[in-house]
Structure 1
Amino acid sequence: MSSPTSPSPLTLRSFWHDLPREGKLLLSVVVFEFIGTGLVLPFNIVYLHEVRGFALGDAGLLLALPPLVGFLVVGPGGAAIDRWGARRILVGALVLQVIGNVTLAFASTQALAAVALLMSGVAFGVSWPGFQAFIAAVIPSELRQRYFGVNFTLLNLGIGIGGLVAGAFVRVDHLPTFQAIYLGDAASYLPALFLMLVPLRHVAGRVEHHGDGSAAKVSYLDVVRRPAVASMLLLSFVSSYVGYSQLNAGMPAYARSVGEISTRGLGFAFAANTLVIVLLQLVVLQRIEARRRTRIIAVMGAVWAVSWLLLGATGLVSGTWGATMLVAACASVFAFGETLLQPTVPALVNDLAPDHLRGRYNAASSAAFQLAQIIAPPIAGFLIGHHLDSVYIGTLVVGCLLLGVLAVVRLEPQLPPGVNGVREPELVADPDAVPEPTPKTRTSTLE
């Protein structure tokens, strides 16, 4: 819940000043870690197919392993976070990432590549809920929205730098250049691992369970039965389906097959996406401070609807410079929506979650997000491949508008105002605000 003490007005200096030491340490390694991600992210399929010589279909199946395994382990991972603490789980995940990337750098057979990607998938599945729970353990509630926003900016900056470096360095006819970027990705996890093992070893250990220990036996079904959680999971699924799942799969496919833009034009669009996030995130954080998070999500849905309409317009000017500009505009407008989403949803989930169930709450949200990423690409491929371009764009626009309805009409009435980002002065001034539950009502094992 929100602290009665409001943070300072948002500037980079005030944000850094307000952060606890542990938060400063965590942010200090984000860019470096995601430079490693940026090194390899655009080139995984190129490495497996063109460099290692695996058939394109086999390479696609190999790259489907991490998200699939991640989805399968996220549930047990969330329970493990609640039982043993986020830090221990993250140490294991970081070690797996290091070993997986080193193995992939020297994977001359499909079997070895599969082992490497399976390790990365396990790490991927527990890392998201693990880091969210860890951050919530060290960042006060009133600073979480700011923290998640700044973290997202640094993450994108790192990926952008890594992509530029790798693009200028790798050569398809020279295997050692690809081995170097995977070893670089492995090395990028070492600073975070050091933080977990040394300066932050006292943070986010096993959560203390008071009473008869029944809280430790709370199942995911018990968690999902809470109305606000069920609505939050539905919102996470829809936002993933109409959002990142399309940006990473549907948008490039549509841009290439319908808009007929070049691969260079597609790279330009993704660069524009990153640039907008880096330039706008702090400005957006200042504008959304203390506003209802559900309303921010609704605005984001409208922004994303505009971005998909811009993508749809590429079909009117296929194969031209105008199509490339429209795809870049789509990616840029989408990025503006991202700056609204990334600070709000993680903060909302963690303000909603009781400490002893934070792993399960974050894992459930992650599972809903990942499920959409598994479902969306085949649907997008079918619609685009069967020339149902208008149906594809229309479903995305409708989905974005539905997102706003879910946020405002369904989720908002189920949230205490503090969880929804409203500070105490507004609670006093707003007689229609949903009141905070009193301690007497918090008797469920979910609390």
Structure 2
Amino acid sequence: MLLPAERDTNVGGLRQTCAVTGMRTFWTALPTPGRWLLSTVAIQTLGRGMTLPFTIIYLHEVRGFDLGLAGALMSVIAITGLVVTGPGGTLIDRYGARRVLLVGLAAMIAGCALLAFATSPVVAAVALVLMGVNFGVSWPGFNALIATIVDGEVRQQYFGVNFALINLGIGVGGIFGGFFVDVHRPETFTAIFLIDAASSLIPMALLLGPLRHVRTHADPEEGDAPVDGYRAILRRPAVLWLTLLTFLAVFIGYGQMEAGFPAFARQVSGVSTQVIGFAFAVNTAVIVLLQFAVLKLIAGRRRTRVMQLMALIWGVSWVLLGLTGLLPRSLAAAIGVLAFMGVFAFGETMLQPTVPAIYNDLASERNRGRYNAINSAAFQGGAIAGPIAAGLLLGEGRQIWFIVAMVAGPVLICLLALVLERRVPAVANGVQNEVAPAPDAR
């Protein structure tokens, strides 16, 4: 049994000690800014959930863009986000996450509003670039904000609960959007994009109101050494190995959710689109229902060991999906597809609390934006490369090699986690009462 781990949180000079054991204790442990930020997560992601599954349908079936063009336009968001992430991290360290996030949210509002009325590819591209700007700065910005507000075990729990609430908001929004939109009524799509734009006003109001005094950056003092740039940070073995692990985890994980998984399920398993849609609902339900239980289970454990367990669980999930290809177009295949997504979601609950927590425990107040930008870039890189690899393998009819690659990925993650464990400081690995290893890096 895990003993409650006492941790300190310090925001604005206020220090409070807490035993992290349950949701009520976790909520009590949060400083007021943390409660404000967490209490609105599910609401502000409802709009994104309403538009995320239907954007390509909107571009192709409502606005009449060629499917290939619509797919290319969809990639603009990820590409823009990847390009913006690096400069965004630097700006966060220099001017603070709050200011950068406000600019990103303004771009998101403008992009969603413009896309709602986009009738030409050029206008749609501009709108998606604006949305990509927000995605490029929101990950490092909000992670830096969270890391400033909470620390220790509370920080790890915060990242996990935040992930569950994001999934809840997106899941509920997707269900509502599915019932509301109609390709024969373009105004329904206009409405959901405007709702998505309006939902960004919620975090903007928080940043301008209750969170206006939260500072994520430290002003340089006379005699301070220069802040490490990206090259110096990536020279740290712990950061380099963690970044490789993050990229690989996303490559075989989230990078396959919108491409490899649905393509395999349709072409090889032979299940219906309804089964695939329900599988995503299973994913959301598992994360929302199990996330906090998993957080209690992994509290005090080495985060690298948690990653290894996550990798093993993902390996089992891909084996399950591969087996559905042996009984295509059958009830067993449909059950297997749903089981795959449920098991995979269980693994997700272990990834999101650990990786961001390690990055932020390695960072200092002066370079936290850059550390979170590296995390974001690794995530986005895996999300871009994953669908490309899936398309090449499945497009050439190499379904077996696709599954082999997906099962080999978790094995590599386990090996990377072993290497990382030897190089990351004990505190950053979630071990609070152990002497840290020698400095890994400078």
Give the TM-score normalised by structure 1.
Answer: 0.93
Matches within 5 A, 1:193-232: 193-204=204-215, 206-212=217-223, 214-216=225-227, 218-232=228-242
Aligned to 2:325: 315
- Residue type of the partner of 1:413? R
Aligned to 1:89: 100
Structure 1 residue 382 displacement after superposition: 1.1
Structure 1 residue 140 displacement after superposition: 2.3
Partners of 2:203 and 2:313 lie apart in 1 by 34
Contact (CA 8 Å) 1:70, 1:122: kept in 2 or not? yes
Q: Deviations over 1:95-121 (max 9, x none)?
A: 111111011101111111111000001
Q: Deviations over 1:301-348 (max 9, x none)?
A: 000001111111111111112211111111110000000111111111
Identity of aligned residues (%): 49
| Unmatched runs of 5 consecutive residues or more in structure 2 | 1-5, 9-15
Partners of 2:258 and 2:406 lie apart in 1 by 14
Partners of 2:319 and 2:95 lie apart in 1 by 46
Contact (CA 8 Å) 2:86, 2:377: kept in 1 or not? yes
The equivalent position to 2:380 in structure 1, one of 354, 370, 377, is 370
Is it true that 1:188 corresponds to 2:170 in the alignment?
no
Q: Deviations over 1:409-440 (max 9, x none)?
A: 2100112211111132xx2xxxxx64476xxx
Partners of 2:310 and 2:331 lie apart in 1 by 28
Contact (CA 8 Å) 1:277, 1:336: kept in 2 or not? yes
Matches within 5 A, 1:127-166: 127-166=138-177
Contact (CA 8 Å) 1:293, 1:344: kept in 2 or not? yes
SS of the residue corresponding to residue 209 of structure 1 reads coil
Aligned to 1:421: 430
The equivalent position to 1:76 in structure 2, one of 60, 84, 87, is 87
Aligned to 2:64: 53
Partners of 1:174 and 1:321 lie apart in 2 by 35
Contact (CA 8 Å) 2:312, 2:410: kept in 1 or not? yes
Aligned to 1:251: 261
Contact (CA 8 Å) 1:81, 1:359: kept in 2 or not? yes
Partners of 1:3 and 1:372 lie apart in 2 by 33
SS of the residue corresponding to residue 7 of structure 1 reads strand
The equivalent position to 2:26 in structure 1, one of 6, 15, 38, is 15
SS of the residue corresponding to residue 241 of structure 2 reads helix
- Residue type of the partner of 2:335? M
Aligned to 1:125: 136
- Residue type of the partner of 2:230? Y
Structure 1 residue 6 displacement after superposition: 6.2
Q: Deviations over 1:342-376 (max 9, x none)?
A: 11111111011111111111111111121122222
- Residue type of the partner of 2:238? A
Partners of 1:74 and 1:213 lie apart in 2 by 26
Partners of 1:324 and 1:209 lie apart in 2 by 58
Tell me which protein shows more helix as a share of its residues: 1
| Unmatched runs of 5 consecutive residues or more in structure 1 | 428-432
Aligned to 2:407: 397
Is it true that 1:290 corresponds to 2:295 in the alignment?
no
Structure 1 residue 134 displacement after superposition: 0.9
SS of the residue corresponding to residue 104 of structure 2 reads helix
SS of the residue corresponding to residue 344 of structure 1 reads helix
Change (3 A) 1:336 1:205: closer
Q: Deviations over 1:56-94 (max 9, x none)?
A: 111011101010011111111111111111111001111
The equivalent position to 1:65 in structure 2, one of 59, 76, 80, is 76
- Residue type of the partner of 2:427? G
Contact (CA 8 Å) 2:81, 2:135: kept in 1 or not? yes
Aligned to 1:430: none
The equivalent position to 2:281 in structure 1, one of 271, 275, 286, is 271
Aligned to 1:170: 181
Partners of 2:17 and 2:404 lie apart in 1 by 42
Contact (CA 8 Å) 1:413, 1:434: kept in 2 or not? no
The equivalent position to 1:26 in structure 2, one of 21, 27, 37, is 37
Partners of 2:263 and 2:17 lie apart in 1 by 45
Partners of 1:78 and 1:69 lie apart in 2 by 14
Partners of 2:151 and 2:286 lie apart in 1 by 28
The equivalent position to 1:412 in structure 2, one of 397, 408, 421, is 421
Change (3 A) 1:306 1:46: same
Contact (CA 8 Å) 1:7, 1:142: kept in 2 or not? no
Q: Deviations over 1:213-268 (max 9, x none)?
A: 5423x321111001111111111111111111012221111111111111111001
Aligned to 1:102: 113
Structure 1 residue 207 displacement after superposition: 2.5
Aligned to 2:11: none
Contact (CA 8 Å) 1:6, 1:142: kept in 2 or not? no
- Residue type of the partner of 2:255? S
- Residue type of the partner of 2:210? P
Aligned to 1:301: 311
Partners of 1:269 and 1:126 lie apart in 2 by 30
Aligned to 2:244: 234
Partners of 2:77 and 2:387 lie apart in 1 by 15
Partners of 2:116 and 2:170 lie apart in 1 by 19
Comparing 314-323 with 16-25, which one deviates more in the overlay? Answer: 314-323
Structure 1 residue 212 displacement after superposition: 3.9
Contact (CA 8 Å) 2:17, 2:29: kept in 1 or not? no
Contact (CA 8 Å) 1:36, 1:188: kept in 2 or not? yes
Change (3 A) 1:366 1:253: same
Partners of 1:372 and 1:192 lie apart in 2 by 27
The equivalent position to 1:330 in structure 2, one of 317, 325, 340, is 340
SS of the residue corresponding to residue 226 of structure 2 reads helix
Aligned to 2:190: 179
Contact (CA 8 Å) 2:90, 2:369: kept in 1 or not? yes
